[in-house]
Amino acid sequence: MILGQKLLQDNLAGLDVRLDATHAAKLDALSKPTLSFPADFIANGAQFVRGGTTINGRAAETWPLSPKDDRERY
pTM for the model stands at 0.39
Domain boundaries, the chain: 35-63
Cβ 15 vs Cβ 8: under 8 Å: no
pLDDT for position 45? 78
pLDDT for position 1? 64
Q: Is 5 helix (H, G, I), strand (E, B) or coil?
A: helix
Write the pLDDT tens digit of every residue in 1-56. 687 899 999 999 999 999 999 999 999 999 999 988 998 888 777 777 778 888 88
pLDDT for position 59? 86
